[in-house]
Amino acid sequence: MSTDTQRYRLNGETMGTRYTALFYAEPGINCDEIGLGLAHAVHRVDQQMSTWKPDSDLNHLNAAAEQQWLSVPQELTTVLAAALRVSQQSNGAFDIAVGDLVQAWGFGPNEPSITEQMLGTDSPKPRMSASKALEVDLQRNQVRKRAPLNLDLNGIAKGFGVDQLARCLEGFGITCYLVGIDGEMRARGVKPDAQPWAVAIEKPCRGVREVMGVMELSDCAIATSGDYRHWVDVGGQSYAHTMNPATDAPLANSLASVTVTASSCMLADAWATALMVLGDIEGPRVAQARGLDALFILRDRDQFKEISVVSGQLQTQIQPLTV
């Protein structure tokens, strides 16, 4: 990389949080044009995949009649197809057909419908998974529902948005960058001093922001799923925002967080969610079988424990970490 490069930083609002773009490029580039490109990239993702926007393409799909092909934007088709692949590869742990559960527990735009009196009652009628009820045609950019579905892309859309930020910068010829939306990030190249990009791994504690460690990135993406950012309290019990398709309820296992690195942030995002749902036993096993890079943080009374999988190989069985 040329020693004449300059450091730039751009950011803005998206998906209820903020996006950032940190990059190195030649002095005098048109930052206004790049900034508009970045804002447009994430706006398209939000407009297509948000459950909070009544007129989003995803909400149109949710409201569409069954057995009819619906034309959707190419980006949405890509994300839906990727979600179905991860669902199949994770044995259904990642399922985007949990929109009704997300809404019922108050993690969507509407008020929660779950009450203390409803806890412990019989499970609702079994829902059909997206992998069984959704058909995606990548060639025609069309989708069809075989049964009623309420889709939610919160476990994959943000990662795809990060990938779109990366594509935007590369469209301007920028090849040294770190882009992110909240905690999902993607890096390319190294900094002018030949050092990789350093990304903080947050300690999974509710109500505080504290760094647990640092991971160095170059030409890869990272995403974290955890139970410490978004939750609701019902009947004196806290419930995290990640839904378990197998139980039709919020996730309840010993994992505090799962961090995954992958070639794209879309895949890192989806697999972090899938491994979080799979738990501390099945999650590492699936990560090994799929050749993933994943860091599992478990809660054990007054301490955290760490399990690490690198390139599908178990690196650390149990490593205590101070709370």
Q: Which two tokens stand for residue 195?
A: 């050092």
Q: What angle in degrees, to the nearest 10, is found between the helix axes of 157-171 and 265-290?
A: 120
The answer to the question of residue 68 being in a domain is yes
Q: Whole-angstrom Cα distance, residue 84 to residue 90?
A: 10
The answer to the question of residue 40 being in a domain is no
Q: Which CATH number belongs to the domain containing residue 128 in this structure?
A: 1.10.3980.10
The answer to the question of residue 102 being in a domain is yes
The answer to the question of residue 67 being in a domain is yes
How big is the CA angle at 290 (ends 320 and 205), to the nearest 5 degrees? Answer: 35
Give the pLDDT of residue 103. Answer: 82
The answer to the question of residue 154 being in a domain is no
10-residue stretch averages of pLDDT, the chain, 323 residues long:
82 95 96 98 98 95 96 98 98 94 76 55 68 96 96 97 98 97 95 95 74 91 82 64 84 88 98 96 96 92 88 77 61
The answer to the question of residue 140 being in a domain is yes
Residue 69, Ramachandran bin (φ over 0: left; ψ between -120 and 50: alpha; else beta): beta
Q: Whole-angstrom Cα distance, residue 293 to residue 261?
A: 6
- Other beta carbons within 10 angstroms of residue 137's beta carbon come to 14
Q: Which two tokens stand for residue 211?
A: 């760094």
Give the pLDDT of residue 321. Answer: 64
E strand residue ranges, the chain: 6-14, 17-25, 70-71, 134-137, 142-145, 177-181, 184-188, 197-202, 211-217, 220-226, 231-234, 237-240, 243-244, 249-250, 255-262, 293-300, 303-310, 313-322
Q: Which two tokens stand for residue 129?
A: 């998974």
Q: Whole-angstrom Cα distance, residue 218 to residue 186?
A: 8
Domains identified in the chain, total number:
1
Q: Is 143 exposed, middle or buried (0-12, 13-18, 19+ CB in 10 A)?
A: buried
For residue 110, give the DSSP letter.
Answer: S
3-state secondary structure 119-169: CCCCCCCCCCCHHHHEEEECCCCEEEECCCCCCCCCCCHHHHHHHHHHHHH
Q: What angle in degrees, to the nearest 10, is found between the helix axes of 157-171 and 74-89?
A: 130
Q: Whole-angstrom Cα distance, residue 267 to residue 143?
A: 21
The answer to the question of residue 56 being in a domain is no
Report in angstroms the alpha-carbon separations of 33 from 38, 39, 162, 169, 171. 9, 10, 18, 11, 12
Give the pLDDT of residue 212. Answer: 80
Q: Whole-angstrom Cα distance, residue 56 to residue 49?
A: 6
Q: Is the alpha carbon torsion for 284, 245, 201, 48 positive or negative? A: positive
For residue 196, give the DSSP letter.
Answer: P
- Domain extent at residue 130: 62-145
The answer to the question of residue 95 being in a domain is yes
Query: Going by C-beta distance under 8 Å and a sequence separation of 6 or more, which residues neighbour residue 186?
Result: 162, 163, 165, 166, 178, 179, 180, 217, 220, 221, 222, 264, 265
Whether the CB-CB separation of 91 and 35 falls below 8 Å is answered with no
